[in-house]
Structure 1
Amino acid sequence: MISSEAALEDLRREIDRVDDSIHDLLIHRVGIVQRIAQVKREGGLRFRPGREARMLRRLIARHRGPFPKPVLARIWREMLGATVRMQGEFSIGVYAVNGEQGCWDLARNHFGAHAPIMLHASAGQIVSDVAGGKATAGVLPRPREDDPQPWWPLLLTGEGAMPRIVARLPFAGRIRGRAEDIDAVVIACQPPEDSGDDITLVAIDMADTVSRATLKSAMRRCDLEPLFFASRHDPNKAGRETTLTEVKGFVLQDDKRLQRLAGTPRGGIQKVQVVGGYAVPLAERMLAEG
């Protein structure tokens, strides 16, 4: 009769064999990533938030057993962060002011424990660094309606290719600690990707006489479902304001719905500009056990 200790040793050796197999597959995966990096030297996106979102959704959907889904997602996020850095220089500017480092926690959780992060107390500095190539990406607080000094209008100024919002954090469940009640977005000088389930952010330059209800009705008539509004009055543009809104779906700048929205209602809307988009984060029910 096999003793319990001998049975345990057999199981431990089996775990070691599984670990070796996992490691071998990881080495093989890295080899594929290196081949991708060779192709990307001829052009291509630095990182792929949309593809990463599709990947995590697929893995979470196929997962079974008692291993926690948020931990599974964290393992893949570490791997994705590491392989992105293998494909070229990669650094992140992160917003942190008055000792609040919730965005730092979100960035570290998303891009990996060894991601090169630079902390800044100025959102403008982060936007400038990303626009100028000093940082590959920036992590900033998610725009909100009650922000007295919103940073998002910075994406509408400047010359050349300005950064765009390309991801929302957290994507795969909230982490405990300083970032437990914080939402952030990632900006980068690349267009957002269609992940199959997305939110698009649109900036609308309009007369300040256009009410929120009128704007909402105009958007719905153009088959655009608004989810969120935040407005900013520019003192240099008397009688006008810029409103940031989130709409359901992946919407490009040349979308005919945006073209219909421009010029309505009665010429009150002057300009409609896509400032980014992000994959809808995984719902808590998708990450629950079972």
Structure 2
Amino acid sequence: MDTLSAVRAQLDAIDDSMHDLLMQRSGIVASLAASRAKAGSTILRPGREADILRRLLARHAGPLPRGALVRLWRELFAASIHQQGGFSVAVYARDAAMARLVAEHFGALTAARTHPTPARALAAVTRGEASVAVLPFPEDADAPEMEWWPALNAPQLSVVARLPFFTEGEAEADALVVAPGAPDPSAEDRSLLLLESDSEQSRGQLLASLTAAGITARLVLVRRAPGISRFLMEADGLIMPGDPRLAALPFDRARMLGAYAAPLRGFSG
């Protein structure tokens, strides 16, 4: 019994120390929020969050599961954003997995409203009714009326994150976060590109053109219509608007839709 009491006292002391550090962290966030308000900068920093999680996962040891570590810090990030106020999410949740993904990433305290289409979710951000939109990652099976990416008004609205950032197994859902302004760079990023051609281009020609321009990319999907072909690409690294490599591509239109921290999927390291 004395041993149990001693262990509980040790755990209580650790809890108090952790609580002290959380209160200290919250105070620093409050000071940072005040300085950002004066500068007019955004409170959403997905690139910074990704770098923090990568650093913590690299140093992590012991029996605490890595997934639990990530969940703890995701709640800390969400609480910091909530503390600064005025943040909400517009989501097109085509299934329950998408809704769970939003709650896990942005936390239970963040206001989230479901919209019937991706276009309605994006419109909520454009009108200032929501801070970000969360939309399913584009797939070949998407109906034409659900395809939001060809009309994305980048760089006014840009893809800034891919969810989930961390999984130890197969991801239950796959989503993109769209927000006003430019992406937040991290130590390892991927860019989302839209390439359009008024003439027929094969996948082989497409990949050869990208390689010649110095871009390593994977084809997400292709849409062909009379007189136009659209290719959605995920490229390694951060490619910003005005990048000379985009201008070198033999396409009628090439533009960046956004960028995000490269997710840790099926993580076991």
TM-score range relative to shorter protein: over 0.9
| TM-score (structure 1 length as normaliser) | 0.87
The corresponding residue for 2:208 is 217
- Which secondary structure state, in structure 2, belongs to the residue aligned with residue 284 of structure 1? coil
Partners of 2:268 and 2:52 lie apart in 1 by: 14
Tell me the C-alpha RMSD between the 2 structures.
Answer: 1.8
Kept in 2: contact 1:124–1:154 (CA 8 A) = no
Q: Can you give the 5+ residue segments of structure 1 that lack an aligned partner in the other structure?
A: none
In structure 2, the partner of 1:204 is 195
Asked whether 1:51 is paired with 2:48, we answer yes
> Would the aligned equivalents of 2:194 and 2:230 in 1 still touch at CA under 8 Å?
yes
Q: Which consecutive unaligned segments of at least 5 residues does structure 2 have?
A: none
| 1:36-185 to 2 correspondences below 5 Å | 36-41=32-37, 42-97=39-94, 100-149=95-144, 150-156=147-153, 162-173=156-167, 181-185=172-176
> Which piece of structure 1 moves more, 218-227 or 275-284?
275-284
Q: Is the 8 A contact 1:168 1:186 kept in 2?
A: yes
Count of residue pairs brought into register by the alignment: 266
Q: Report the CA distance between 1:233 and its aligned residue.
A: 4.2
Give the equivalent residue in structure 1 for 2:180: 189
TM-score (norm 2): 0.93
Output the amino acid matched with 2:247. Q
2:236 maps to: 248
Alpha-carbon distance in 1 for matches of 2:108, 2:119: 25
Identity, % of aligned positions: 35
Aligned-pair CA distance for 1:174 = 6.1
Residue 262 of structure 2 corresponds to residue 280 of structure 1: yes
Larger Rg: 1
Q: Any idea what the Cα deviations from partners look like across 1:138-197, whole Å, max 9, x if unmatched?
A: 11100123423222123048xxx6321111111121689xxx532111111121122111
Is the Cα–Cα contact under 8 Å of residues 146 and 230 in structure 1 kept in the other structure? no
